[in-house]
Amino acid sequence: MLGALADGAGTVENLLRSADVESTANVLRTLGVRIDLDGGYATVYGLGLGRLAPPAVPLDCGNSGTTTRLMAGIIAAHPFEARFIGDASLSRRPMRRVAEPLEAMGARVTLEGGDGLPMTVHGATLHSIGWTSRTASAQIKSCILLAALTARIPVTVTEPRLSRDHTERMLRARGVEVTVDGSTVSLGVAREFPAMPVTVPGDPSSAAFFVALAAMLPDAEVRLPDVCLNPTRTAFMNVVQRMGVPLESAEGACTMGGEPVGTVVARSAPHLRAVSVGADEIPAMIDEVPILAALATRADGETVVTGARELRVKESDRIAAVVSNLRAIGAEAEELEDGLIVRGSDRPLRGSVVTHGDHRLAMAFGVLGALPGNDVTVDDPDCVAVSYPAFWDDLRRVSS
């Protein structure tokens, strides 16, 4: 997205060709951006801030909430309208949370489905706001920041807790003034927005599955190179260390874009301990809660997760789906309004899992199914293509 808004051609290396990335590329192409993809390498021919073309067809975002919410901000600063559509799962996800700040900035947003897609964003001349978000969400924050960037206006966003900061880092790397004070982010006016080469680091959410696998396998060691060690993404690693997982991370050089990167090494945990995880840690590990719940099935004691109400509006209601599937395979678990409880044991886990098309559920229960003595069947293994198309091949290779 930033490459499309930049002046000139920029490159992206180590690109993951997942369904979400393909959805983003197709949306940008619909808006007049030329994108050449060759394996994990992309060239994006940026049109400049505010210069995207009016779309002739709706913008199909597939399963990607990130594509929808961030592009809504970008479209809001253009002198045209665009209709956003997506698959059944995405169409159920809440969009009013981005519609409200965009309307406060001067755009008009029509939500045909009540709170979900289809959504039409009517662009306008935007004005600055100071927005206080009820939810610590990088997607809401980034929507507002990208709207302001494209409109060349300053903006301030305050969250209950600081969420992921990849957008801020990438903007700063391109010369935009970004300041952070606690959980308040302020964006200055972009005088220039140059194209640049970007290298994508390894995804810590994807790495989490193999950290958990190593912890639960006997006599295992998994080495994960070039993982993003951004502190707004590493809460899962902190939590599993409290659980007793031998984990090392050695930070190396930063990538272009200001992301710290390093090698993560995880080993078998001789004794896993239950932990409590609360609202302060959740924003930095929101996508890792399903694999944390899987790991908790092998821990001694009762693992309690609270402050994770946001999981109810992900690709599925992840709280309900994780708990029901844990019970279906013989684990003890219960729902909380804003989280869950998992009671660990050493008994084999066996049964069928209903993923509801949710890639992170499929991968979390796939890890449990790879453990000796367990027999877990995932109903829709292909849904992992949303974020990690090679997951099953990598899982077989690592667990064999």
pLDDT of residue 256: 59
Q: 31 with 10: CB under 8 angstroms?
A: no
Residue 240 and residue 367: Cα distance in Å, rounded?
15
Half-sphere exposure of 283 (CA within 13 A, CB side): 20
Active site residues: 287
Q: How far is 125 from 206, CA to CA, in rounded Å?
A: 39
Tokens of 287: 């996508």
**Counting every residue, how long is the chain?**
400
As a whole number of angstroms, the longest Cα–Cα distance in the chain is 61
What residues in the chain have per-residue pLDDT under 50?
Answer: none
The number of beta carbons lying within 10 Å of the beta carbon of residue 144 is 26
CA distance 19 to 25: 10
Cis ω for the linkage preceding 260 (within 30 of 0) = no
332-336, strands of its sheet edge to edge? 276-277, 302-305, 339-343, 332-336
CA 32 to mean position of chain CA atoms: 26
Write the CA distances from 257 to 76, 139, 169, integer angstroms: 25, 18, 6
Q: At what angle do helices 318-328 and 359-369 cross, to 10 degrees?
A: 20
Among all chains, which residue has been given the structure tokens 């951006």? 33
Kindly tell me the burial class for residue 311, based on how many C-beta atoms sit within 10 Å of its own C-beta (0-12, 13-18, 19 or more).
buried
**CA angle (117, 233, 271) in 5-degree steps:** 120
Which domains does the chain carry? 2-199 (3.65.10.10), 204-399 (3.65.10.10)
d(CA 87, CA 91): 6
The token duo for 60 is 């199909």
